[in-house]
Every structure is written in structure tokens, then in C-alpha cells.
Amino acid sequence: MNAMNMKRNRRSSLMTRDRASVSTEELGIELRAALGASRELGPEKESEIAASFLERVERVIDAQVEARLHEVRPRQRDRLGRTMRLFLALAFAVPLTAVAAGYGPEGIILTWVAIFLMTVLVR
């Protein structure tokens, strides 16, 4: 009976930890505990134990997917921001170059340097 209490304590401590940080080794421990409990409690509780373990695995997978999505979303936003800056720079570059052409090559060069600096430096 003492071993059963240790399994329950171990399992409850895993349940309360961050779901995304649960390793496959820890899930293996939980699987072995669930199989042991199934043997001890008999076939009538087997489906409940299996369902409980599968719910746990599903929560862990969901948490890991959510954690990965949080890692990817800022990169996508940054990429969108860069694309938008580039689009705006090119949209303004054409008319500004036409106006700058009236001042000669120096005007065009100065305009493109300013556009480049705004595109690279402005976040």
C-alpha cells in the first residue's frame, strides 16, 4: 500500500508542474503507474485508468504545442513588420525619386540613402 501512495504522490506532483516541461521519461513513469494501478484494481477500472492517462498525455501535448506556437508567433509578427516596412519604403521611393530627380543625381542618392536608413533603422 505504501508503494501505491508513492505512485499517487509522484503523479500528483507531475500534474501540478508545468505541463510543457514533462519529459517522455516522466510520461513513461506515469504509464507504468497506470498499468500497475490497472493490475491492482482489476479489469473493471481499466478503461477509466486508460482514459485518465490519455487525457494527461493530451494535456501535455496541447501544452507543448501551445508553447511552440508562442515561440513562433513573435517571429511571424517581426517578419510581417519587416515586410510592411519594405513595402512602404518602396511605395514612397518611386514618387520621392521622381521629385528628387529634379535636383540631379545628388538628390536621388540622398533620397535613397534616407529611404534605406528609415527602412533599416526604424522598427
- pLDDT, tens digit, 9 for 90 and up, residues 31-90: 888 888 888 888 888 888 888 888 888 888 888 888 887 777 666 666 667 788 888 888
pTM over 0.75, yes/no:
no
Task: Give the chain's domain count.
Answer: 1
Between vectors from CA 40 to CA 39 and to CA 44, what angle results, nearest 5°?
75
Could you count the other beta carbons within 10 Å of the beta carbon of residue 100? 19
Boundaries of domain holding 38: 2-121
Higher pLDDT, 119 or 55: 55
In whole angstroms, give the CA distance from residue 109 to residue 123: 23
